[in-house]
Amino acid sequence: MATEKKDKFLMYKGKPLVRNGNSIYYGYMSEAYVAMLTIQSTKKSGELTLADKVLVQIIATDPTVPPQEMVVKKSVKNGLYSAIDIASIWLERYLKKK
């Protein structure tokens, strides 16, 4: 039996993707911002269920920021690829500001 490491995450452009239900977190929680992608609706394509509408949010990880000010940017995208692509662009821009 092969040994597996349970602490390995799926990576995209050098940052981890972690899924929790219909939410996907992109980035390191130790950095100033992370992206949260929330799958709002799905569609069937043959036997597969694909993400249709995805809410993309850039969120501040600073615990001193009030909850209503944590989301600094958001948008709804069609499809998971478009959502992850824009999330990676926005996240890099916000991380360079800090």
pLDDT in tens, the chain (98 residues): 444 555 688 898 989 999 999 999 999 999 999 999 999 999 998 999 899 999 999 999 999 989 889 999 999 999 999 999 999 999 999 999 86
Evaluate whether residue 90 is within a structural domain: yes
- Phi, psi of 21, rounded to the nearest 5 degrees: 65, -125
In the chain, the number of structural domains is 1
Dump pLDDT digits (tens) for 34-50.
Answer: 999 999 999 998 999 89
- CA atoms of 76 and 85, how far apart (whole Å): 12
Evaluate whether residue 32 is within a structural domain: yes
Evaluate whether residue 88 is within a structural domain: yes
Q: Are 74 and 38 in contact (CB under 8 A)?
A: no
Evaluate whether residue 4 is within a structural domain: no
Domain span at residue 38?
A: 12-97
Evaluate whether residue 2 is within a structural domain: no
Evaluate whether residue 1 is within a structural domain: no
Evaluate whether residue 6 is within a structural domain: no
Supply the pTM of this predicted model. 0.84
Report residue 78 CA to chain centroid gap: 14
Evaluate whether residue 7 is within a structural domain: no
